[in-house]
Structure 1
Amino acid sequence: MKEVMEGSHAVSEAVRLAKVQVMSAYPITPQTHIVEALSEYCADGRMAGKFICVESEHSAMAAVIGAASGGVRTFTATSSHGLALMHELLHWSSAARLPIVMAEVNRALGPGWNIWMDQTDSLAQRDTGWIQLYCEDGQESLDTTLQAFRLAEAVSLPVMVVLDAFFLSHTYEPVDLPDQETADRFLPPFQPRIQLNTADPFAVSQMAPPPVYMEMRHDIQKAMEGVPEAFDQVEDAFESVFGRRYGAIDAVACEDAEIILVMAGTAASTCRQVVADLRERGEKIGLVKLKMFRPFPTDLIRSVLGKAKKVAVLDRNCCFGIGGIFAQEIRAALYHSDNRPPIFSYISGMGGRDITPEILEEIYRQTKESAFPEKESVWIGLNQ
C-alpha cells in the first residue's frame, strides 16, 4: 500500500511493524516526529509496546540497554547533542552485544546553535561499535529500519539507522507501506541471545580484568567482520519478500567511469540526476552511494573505485585538523589496492546548506581539471 508520509514517520511505521516491545527517547529536533508517533501508537493501542519517557538521551539509552538485557526488542532515536550525550552508553550497549536499533537524524553540532543537516554527529560515534547505515529517501528509511532489527539480532550488535535532517526527516514522499503479515514474513519474533532471568541469574557488564577484556574487544571486532555477510543475507531475505535491495554501496554508471563521485544520504539523489545530465554530454562520470559506513565496506569500495582514474568524495562533515571523514576512510581502504586513484576531498552542505546540481558539477569540474589534489579537503559553497 502506497502512502505519502514524511521520512520520520517512515521510520515510525517500520518500528510499529517490527513489534518493538520497549521504546525510550527524549525529544530533540529533528528526530522528535519519530518518537511522537510511536508514543501515540502505544497510547492508542496500535502498538503493544511500552514507551518510557525519560529526562535525557543518556537515560533513554540506559533504558533500552536495560530492556534489551531483559530480552526484548528495543528502539530509540536521537540527533546531534542528544547523540553526543549518549556517547558513553553507546560503548556499553555494543560491548554488551545488545541488538538495539536507533534512528539517528543527522543534525549539526553547536555552537552556533543549528538544527539542520550535518553528518558530524553520527560520524563522531564511528568508533563506538555500532553498525551505521545511511539512508537516501523515505522508502529506504522504512526498509532499512526493518532490516536493522534482523541484522542486529543476527550479529548481536546495535544498529544506527541514519537519515538527513529535514531533507529526509521532514520531507513527504510516497512510501510503500507493507501490511503486518508481510512484515512478519521478513522479521520473525525476537529470540534473545541474552535474557536476564531471576530463575537462572547471571551478571551482565560486570568487571572485566586484563585476562578477559582484550578477548571481549576481539569478539566485537570479529562480529563486525561478519556484518557484511550477514547484511547480504538480510537483504536476500528482504528482497524475497519485498522485491527491493540496496547494497552496502550503490554503484551508478561506474562500469566505464573515469571520475566517480562518492557520498551518502539525500545528496545522492541530486547526484543521480547530475550523473545522468553529464553522461548525456559525453562525460564519463559515475556515482557511489555509501550506505554502510560501519563496518566500512572496504572490499566493495576497492572493487568499484579501483577502476576509476579519479575519485571525488563529498563530505557533509569535517574532522577538524584532517578534513572530510568519508574521504579519509576511502583513502585508507584503497591504500593496499593495486590501483590507487587520487582521492579528491570536498566538504559542503554543512549546517543544512543545500547541495545543488551546480555544486556537484563544480566538484566534477575541479576534479577533472586537476591532476592531483592540492589540499586535504576543498570547501565548496562558502559565503566568502
Structure 2
Amino acid sequence: MRAVRALTGNAAAAYGVKLCRPEVIPNYPITPQTIIIEQLADFINDGELDADFIPADSEHSAMSIAIGAAATGVRTFTATASHGLALMHEMLYAPPQLRLPILLVDVNRSLGAGSGIWVEYNDSMPERDSGWMQAYAEDAQEVLDMVIQAYRIAEDPRVVLPFMLCLDGFILSHTVERVEVPGQEEVDAFLPRFSPLNRLDPEAPMCMNMAVSPTHAMEMRYQLDRQMERARQVIAEVDEAFGKAFGRSYGGLLDTYLMEDAEIALITLGTATSTARVAVDELRAEGRKVGLIKLRFMRPFPHEELREAVKGLRALGVFDRSVSFNRFGPVFTEVRSSLYGSGVPITDHIAGIGGRDLKVSTFRDMFALLERSASGGRVRECTWHGLRGEM
C-alpha cells in the first residue's frame, strides 16, 4: 500500500533499496552517505528487510564484497561518497566487464586537499568511463523512483551492467521532502526477481575474471560498449513502464522544460535543475524565449536525444558542477562533442563548486550571457559564476 512520507534524499534511497529486496549490502560509512546505510541497518534489524549487512574495512573492500556477492547471483547494493568512491576506483572496472548489475548510490561531495563535505561532481565524473551507467537525481522522489528503475534497467538481459545513481550531498541527501513510497506488492510486480546470466556455483564450476590476452580483450571492450548503447532503449522503456505503474515518469535519458519555442536553453543536472527552472519561469514571464534541458544520464549519454532537443536554438549553455582543470567542465566537453556540426553556439558555465550556493540569480546571469551570444555578442567560451573578488 502506498504511503506519503517526509524523507531526506538519503532516506528515500534507503526506502527504495528496501523495496527492491537486495540480499547483500556491503558498506563502509562516509559523510554525507552514512544515513543510507544506517537506515538499511535499521530495516534489517527491525525485520523489514531480509539481507546480509556486511560492514567492510574500507570502500575498496565494500566494492570487492559487492563484486563477490553479485557474482554468486544475488541482488547487491552499496553506497559511498567522495573519497570513498575514489578508493573504490580500482574495483569499479570489474563489475561492467563481469556483467554484474550492482547498484551503487554515490552522494556527491568534493574531494582532494582543501575540500569540504559539500556537493560537487568531481567525485563521480571521473568514473563515467568505467563502464557503469550513471544517472543524477533532482529530488528525493526521483531518488526513490530511480533506485527501483535502476535495478530493472541494470538486470535487463539486454544490458546487465552496474548502475551508479548520484544525488547531491546535503542539498538533497539531508533535505526533507514529501515522497510517495510505493507498496511492496507494486514494486514486486514491477521488478522481477534477479535472474543472473552467470553465477559462481560449486555444482557448476566456472572461471571469472581471469587474465584476457590481446587476442580477446578488444572484443570484450567492444561488447561492453554495445551493451551501454543498448541500455539507451531499455532506459526509455523502463521509464515509460514506471510511469504507467506508478504515475511518475522522468523522460528517460533527458527531460525538457519549455523547449517547444525556445531560442536559447541551458543544460543542467541534479538539484540545480529545480533552481534553474524557477529562473526559466521568471524569464518566460518577461517574454523571453528560454528553455531548460535536464540531463539525467551521463552514461549512456543521450547523443541523439540531445541533438533533437537543441534544434532551432540560437545559443546553448551547459551548467557544470565539476571541472576538468583544463578550462572546461566534463559535461560541457560531452555536450560539445555530441553536438559537433550542429551549428549551435555552446558555452560552459561552471558554478556551485565545493557546495557554493546556486541562486535563481546565478542562472539568470547564465541566460543573460546566452542572450548576448545569440545576438552575436562576444561571450567567453567558459565562465565561472559566483567567484569571490577579482580573479
| 1:383 correspondence with 2:379 | no
| 1:237 correspondence with 2:244 | no
Unaligned runs of 5+ residues in structure 1 are: none
> In the alignment, what sits opposite 2:174?
170
Alignment of 1:293-312 (within 5 A): 293-312=298-317
SS at match of 1:169: coil
Q: What CA distance in whole angstroms lies between the structure 2 residues aligned with 1:366 and 1:334?
A: 20
- Is the Cα contact below 8 Å between 1:3 and 1:174 reproduced in 2? yes
Q: What CA distance in whole angstroms lies between the structure 2 residues aligned with 1:341 and 1:110?
A: 35
Q: TM-score, normalised by structure 1?
A: 0.98
| 1:367 correspondence with 2:367 | no
Displacement of 1:374 after TM fit? 4.4
Say which is worse superposed, 250-259 or 373-382, in terms of deviation.
373-382
The one-letter amino acid paired with 2:171 is F
> In the alignment, what sits opposite 1:181?
185
After superposition, what is the alpha-carbon deviation per residue over 1:219-249, rounded to whole angstroms, capped at 9, x for unaligned?
1001001011011121122112101111211
Q: What CA distance in whole angstroms lies between the structure 2 residues aligned with 1:314 and 1:66?
A: 38
The one-letter amino acid paired with 2:54 is I
SS at match of 2:226: helix
> In the alignment, what sits opposite 2:291?
286
- Is the Cα contact below 8 Å between 2:28 and 2:56 reproduced in 1? yes
- Is the Cα contact below 8 Å between 2:135 and 2:164 reproduced in 1? yes
Match of 1:258 among 260, 263, 269: 263
> In the alignment, what sits opposite 1:52?
54
Identical positions, percent: 44
After superposition, what is the alpha-carbon deviation per residue over 1:310-331, rounded to whole angstroms, capped at 9, x for unaligned?
0011101000113111111111
Displacement of 1:273 after TM fit? 1.2
Say which is worse superposed, 237-246 or 288-297, in terms of deviation.
237-246
SS at match of 1:317: coil
> In the alignment, what sits opposite 2:198?
194
- Is the Cα contact below 8 Å between 1:344 and 1:373 reproduced in 2? no
Q: What CA distance in whole angstroms lies between the structure 2 residues aligned with 1:192 and 1:299?
A: 31
Say which is worse superposed, 353-362 or 234-243, in terms of deviation.
234-243
Displacement of 1:153 after TM fit? 0.4
Q: TM-score, normalised by structure 2?
A: 0.96
- Is the Cα contact below 8 Å between 1:69 and 1:194 reproduced in 2? yes
Q: What CA distance in whole angstroms lies between the structure 2 residues aligned with 1:283 and 1:323?
A: 28
- Is the Cα contact below 8 Å between 2:7 and 2:176 reproduced in 1? yes
The one-letter amino acid paired with 2:340 is Y
Unaligned runs of 5+ residues in structure 2 are: none
- Is the Cα contact below 8 Å between 1:185 and 1:241 reproduced in 2? no
| 1:354 correspondence with 2:348 | no
How many correspondences in the alignment?
Answer: 382
Q: What CA distance in whole angstroms lies between the structure 1 residues aligned with 2:113 and 2:45?
A: 36
After superposition, what is the alpha-carbon deviation per residue over 1:256-290, rounded to whole angstroms, capped at 9, x for unaligned?
11110111000100111111111010011000010
SS at match of 1:120: coil
SS at match of 1:176: strand
| 1:226 correspondence with 2:245 | no
- Coordinate RMSD, CA, aligned: 1.0
The one-letter amino acid paired with 1:284 is K
SS at match of 2:127: coil
Q: What CA distance in whole angstroms lies between the structure 2 residues aligned with 1:36 and 1:173?
A: 19
- Is the Cα contact below 8 Å between 1:322 and 1:376 reproduced in 2? no
> In the alignment, what sits opposite 2:83?
81
Q: What CA distance in whole angstroms lies between the structure 2 residues aligned with 1:128 and 1:175?
A: 32
- Is the Cα contact below 8 Å between 1:5 and 1:174 reproduced in 2? yes
Q: What CA distance in whole angstroms lies between the structure 1 residues aligned with 2:351 and 2:193?
A: 42
- Is the Cα contact below 8 Å between 1:342 and 1:373 reproduced in 2? no
Displacement of 1:306 after TM fit? 2.8
Q: What CA distance in whole angstroms lies between the structure 1 residues aligned with 2:198 and 2:242?
A: 25
Displacement of 1:88 after TM fit? 0.9
- Is the Cα contact below 8 Å between 1:279 and 1:285 reproduced in 2? yes
